[in-house]
Amino acid sequence: MAGYRGGGPGVAQRIHASELVSAGLAAGVLSEAKAIVITKALDKIEADPVATGEDLVLAEKLLVDYADLATANELQIAGKRALAKIDPDRFEEAEAKALLAEEERAQHKTALRVWDNHDGTIGFDGVLPTSIGMRFKKHVEAWAQPRKQQLVEKGAPLPPWERLMGQGFARLIETIDPATLPRHGGDATVINVVISLEELRKELGTATLGYDETNGTTITAAEARRMACNATIIP
């Protein structure tokens, strides 16, 4: 068997350098995405000062054999654990240290950016540690699924899943109990909604998110009334 030689000038050359990976790709057993995942995993194994040439060969065979049963994501996880699978005594402690370092890097990468699109929507993006990100995804999906099921039962056309997830996220935010929020300056974290009594009574009235019409964002009175259900009202 030809040995794997990572670190070449391109992914295609690195795949070609691995006999099992290139053969699996040619036979249609491996997708291109899985072949890339395996070559990247082998690159990291080759760079491990504790790993030997024999470890590299065994890891390649292990990952190629597993690829038929796994998704690309599952294969990526298996690539990180390949050495511990081959020789637990030598590599389990090293794997634990690598995972700890990865989690620490994830904490440093964690970020959230929020901005006003000035079209009735707020945009945001961010990065979360895997453990938190998976929980976030599950929570949002839990709120998106009932909406999808309702549309299916009505025979209505389904909107894109991304929209259902966005609506699910909105429902998740709305279910947060204000009493559980961190205290800030003696009060729970708040968003001020300013509206006159006259506008509140109108079917098509407007309110302001903020302290005044100059610095705030306009919303409908209906939305303000809905928000007021769990809010403190100051005349």
Token representation of residue 60: 């390649």
Q: Note the pLDDT tens digit of each residue in 67-123.
A: 888 888 888 888 888 888 887 877 777 777 777 788 889 899 999 999 999 898 999
| pLDDT tens string 179-229 | 777 766 555 556 677 777 777 777 677 777 665 554 566 777 777 777 676
Q: In 3-state terms, what secondary structure has residue 193?
A: strand
pLDDT at 153: 83
Domain residue limits, the chain: 11-102, 182-235
Alpha-carbon distance 145 to 163, whole Å?
A: 12
Report the relative pairing of strands 187-188 and 183-184 from DSSP bridges.
Answer: antiparallel
Q: Which residue has the higher pLDDT, 124 or 230?
A: 124
Q: pLDDT tens digit string along 39-63?
A: 888 888 888 887 888 888 888 888 8
**pLDDT score of 110:** 95
State how far the Cα of 8 lies from the Cα of 110, in Å rounded to an integer. Answer: 32
pTM: 0.54
Nearest 5°: CA angle at 212, between 208 and 213? 65
